[in-house]
Every structure is written in C-alpha cells, then in structure tokens.
Amino acid sequence: MAVESALVGGARVEDPEVLRYLMPPEADGNALLLAKRLRDATYITAERTGPREIYPLRDRQNATLVGPQGEHAVSLLHWGRDEQVLADLALPDVAKTRLRQVEARMQAFFPGCAFTVEQVSQANAVTLGLRTSEDTGFHRPIHEGFGLTQVFPIVVAALSAAEEDILLIENPEVHLHPAGQALMGQFLADVARAGVQVILETHSDHVLNGIRRSVKARRLAAEQVAIHFFRPRSTAGETQVFSPVLDDSGNIDSWPEGFFDQFDKDMNYFAGWGVRWIFWPMTAPSMGSL
C-alpha cells in the first residue's frame, strides 16, 4: 500500500517520496539508528526464487543482502564465502567461513547436502551445483526438490548477518516437511540467540514448537521470544491481537481460539466418534477372494 500522506509535528506532508518524512525533523540518535537498521534489514518473502540454471551476480559492493525473493543469495555467498560468521552461530568442527557454515547448516536440513558456487566465465552470473549424497556428482538445482532452494536464502541471510541486524522472514516453512519445519524454528532461535533480531510470520505450529524446544533446552531465553497472534476483527471492540507468553519450559500461558489449535479440534472430532481398530490380514488376499 502506498503512503499518501504523513502527519509530522502537526504538519501534513502529501505524497512523501521516501519514508524519511515519517521521521521527526529533530530525530535523536536512537531514531536515526532505528532508521539505519530498518534500511539495512533483510526481508525475505514467502515467494522465494526457485531452482534456476544460473543466478545473477551483483557487484561486490552492492551484494550485501539476499534480496526479497532470495534472488541474490548465491551472489552474496559467492563474494562472501571466506567471511567469518558470528561466533555464536558457528558450528564446531567446521571452518568458520560463510561457505562452509552454510553448507553444514544445509546438511542439517538435508543430510548429505553439498554445493558448489561458480562464476560463469565472462558473464555477471553464477551457477549453483547441488548434491544430496556423496554417491552422486553435483547437478543443477532444477533436478532437486524445491525445499533446498527455499531454505538456502534463509540460511545464507542468517549466516551473513551481524549482531543487531534485523531479519524478517515470511513463511520459513515453505516446502519443508514437519521435521524440517521444527528444525527451522530451532535454527532461527539460534540466530536470535546470536544477537540478530528475527521476525517471523508463520502458519506452522512446527516452527513454533521448534522455538519452544529451544527455550526448554535453554538455547534461547523465554524473555527473548515474543509471540503475537492476529485474527480478523468480527465485531467492534473485539480483541484482534493476542500475545501469548512462553515460560522457561517452553509452555504457552494461553491458547486463543484459532491459535494453532486445529490438531486438537481434529482429534476431538474423532474422539466423539469413538475409537475403532481395523486389523488387516498380514498377507494380501488372492484375486479370487476380492
């Protein structure tokens, strides 16, 4: 949605060209710091770039973010392959460089995963070679599942971040099975513990449970987690935003209607029908008995 006007200090500014008009003219140091952090924030949408034959190679000075669709993730990794990741994010027994740490994190999601990043000769492009087993060679991303290329920009962005950076991600669970979604929650909890501000929009209770597990395991403090549940306002004055609170064991103090409660609703539905056990024969029947 475009910003049509802004009211600053009682004065209305019509059609502001840039959002700096939303900042007070006498902005103090904290406001300016917030503006800089927002300007440098990484935002990754739910519609991320899928498998490609080649990926654009940005200028090294401008390759600082993965891009909203993760379209510059390969470029960012290519130029920053030898950069050191945050100490609290570095996995042990792996070189602390971005390339090796990204590969190790990807292996947690996809066992056996490895990749190569190569610049195309005489072109502003790079290729990404992938494999999911040591028994195969590297091949093009189009021959792999979508999950790899959906997780890849999130991991690259997280391991390229510095302390106090802001990382906003929509639907990090896209194209991941439940175990992978829970692991994503735990991974992003580790990123937050390292000092990066992580803001998630998710429809996955598995991602939430991954974060809760991190709190219970003392990998992340409960006070470092804020949960906000938004639902449409049906009547005037009805509460639209709920903010359940986690305790140190990962328990949630309240479950508003519609807040990741579909599993319980489904199980209660089946419980109303009673439980029926059906025992199938151990061997398939012959065609004559069908």
Contact 252, 246 (CB under 8 A): yes
Contact 5, 14 (CB under 8 A): yes
Task: Please report which confidence band the pLDDT of residue 264 belongs to, taking 50, 70 and 90 as the band edges.
Answer: confident
170-186 burial, b at 16+ Cβ within 10 Å, e below that, comes to bbbbbbbeeebbbbbbb
pLDDT in tens, 103-152: 999 999 999 899 999 999 989 999 999 988 887 888 888 888 888 999 99
Better-predicted residue by pLDDT, 204 or 3? 204
Q: For residue 152, which amino acid is it?
A: F
Contact 95, 80 (CB under 8 A): no
pLDDT in tens, 85-99: 999 999 999 999 999
Instruction: Tell me the pLDDT of the chain averaged across its residues.
Output: 86
Q: For residue 131, which amino acid is it?
A: R
- pTM for the structure as a whole: 0.82
pLDDT above 50 (res 157)? yes
pLDDT in tens, 75-88: 999 999 999 999 99
pLDDT in tens, 212-229: 999 999 999 999 999 999
How high is the pLDDT of residue 27?
57
Half-sphere exposure of 103 (CA within 13 A, CB side): 22
Which of 156-165, 208-217, 246-255, 274-283 is predicted least confidently? 274-283
Q: Which helix (H) or strand (E) holds 229?
A: strand 229-230
pLDDT above 90 (res 154)? yes
pLDDT above 70 (res 204)? yes
pLDDT above 60 (res 192)? yes
Span between the terminal Cα atoms of the chain, in Å = 61
Give dist(CA 256, CA 156) in Å, integer.
Answer: 35
Contact 247, 253 (CB under 8 A): yes
Give dist(CA 248, CA 66) in Å, integer.
Answer: 34
pLDDT above 70 (res 280)? no
**Nearest 5°: phi and psi at 208?**
-60, -45
